[in-house]
Amino acid sequence: MSRFINLLIVHCAATANGKALGNAKENAAQVIDRWHKDRGFHRASPGNSNGLTSIGYHYVIETDGTLLTGRDESEVGAHVAGHNATSIGVCMVGTDSFTPAQWATLKSTILRLRDKYRNAEICGHNQFANKICPGFHVPDWVDGEFAPLPGHIVDPK
């Protein structure tokens, strides 16, 4: 089933800046999946077979720049109330400062999604809710031609 996508929404995991979320037992998407399961999220009929049952985001970017898949793009997300049906959610591990590798992956991911979903506006979760997420003003990042924003860059730990 094809969905009409008009929003690409950037999020943060609200975790320590520059510190990997994944560990020896779980990658970052698996950790977030567990968190979302605890909050009552559930994927009705997963569009991919990655074994995640609850994650609300379509993509997660770990501190080393690894792009992890959560929900399939064909699935409605669970990441921004009132806009899930027509959006794709991309979550960066951290809160308000991100590694150069994360910024590079965010840029390439958003540009690929923008090419695929030509009518989509690029936004931050904080444009729809009174939250810090993703810890920076996404329109400034877009206006800056997707360059990492000064004051929002951290060295990986």
Residues 115 and 110: their CA atoms lie apart, in Å, by 8
Is residue 25 annotated as part of the catalytic site, yes or no?
no
Is residue 59 annotated as part of the catalytic site, yes or no?
no
Q: Which of 11, 36, 58, 79 is catalytic?
A: 11
Is residue 57 annotated as part of the catalytic site, yes or no?
yes
Q: How many CA atoms are closer than 13 Å to the CA of 116, on its beta-carbon side?
A: 16
Q: Which of 36, 58, 79, 125 is catalytic?
A: 125
**Angle at 9 (CA atoms; ends 114, 4), nearest 5 degrees:** 60
135 Cβ neighbours under 8 A, 6+ residues apart: 12, 94, 95, 96, 97, 152
Q: Which of 12, 91, 123, 133 is catalytic?
A: 133
Is residue 79 annotated as part of the catalytic site, yes or no?
no
Q: Which of 57, 79, 117, 123 is catalytic?
A: 57
Is residue 133 annotated as part of the catalytic site, yes or no?
yes
- What's the distance, CA 93 to chain centroid? 8
Write out the catalytic residue numbers: 11, 57, 125, 131, 133
